[in-house]
Structure 1
Amino acid sequence: MHVGEDWAQDLVGLDRAVEDVGEVLERRLVGIPLSLDVIDLGTDPPHVEFALTEEGRSLAPVLQALYDWGTARAERTGAAITA
């Protein structure tokens, strides 16, 4: 077996592992009630708006803490923040 063949097999294995992780995450996330409320505005053509549920809004402090941490880290390390 050549080194290249081993590398290819490793990549196939990694690809399968990533797929498995993705499937597990998808199954787990589907049941979380953080979804959006859909607001049908009753217009023609149809128009809907989306709003976070109360459960989704409860994540705001967590997301703010992550943002604050990232901003502080970028300042400490000189890392660029890009959109």
Structure 2
Amino acid sequence: MGVTEETQDIQTKKSFFGRVKGLTWERWQRIINAVTALGATVQACNRTLKAQPKAVVERKKSIRVQLQEIKEKHGTRD
């Protein structure tokens, strides 16, 4: 964004948010900065989560397979 466009953008924001009762331009800037920082934090957390290895999820075994494993473990037969 060029200087002219950025200046116009700032002026537009100042005039729009200047109408909000009790909200000064400085307060609005602090809100923008806080939301921007929060967004950056969320993005960093998402990158961290995506970079972690996915947990290996073991498929649940059927009851028959579980019983068979128990029988084999204890050496029993049908």
What TM-score comes out, normalization by structure 2 length? 0.36
Greater fraction of residues in strand: 1
Greater relative contact order (Cα 8 A, min sep 6): structure 1 or 2? 1
Kindly name which structure, 1 or 2, has the bigger radius of gyration based on alpha carbons.
Answer: 2
Greater fraction of residues in helix: 2
What TM-score comes out, normalization by structure 1 length? 0.34
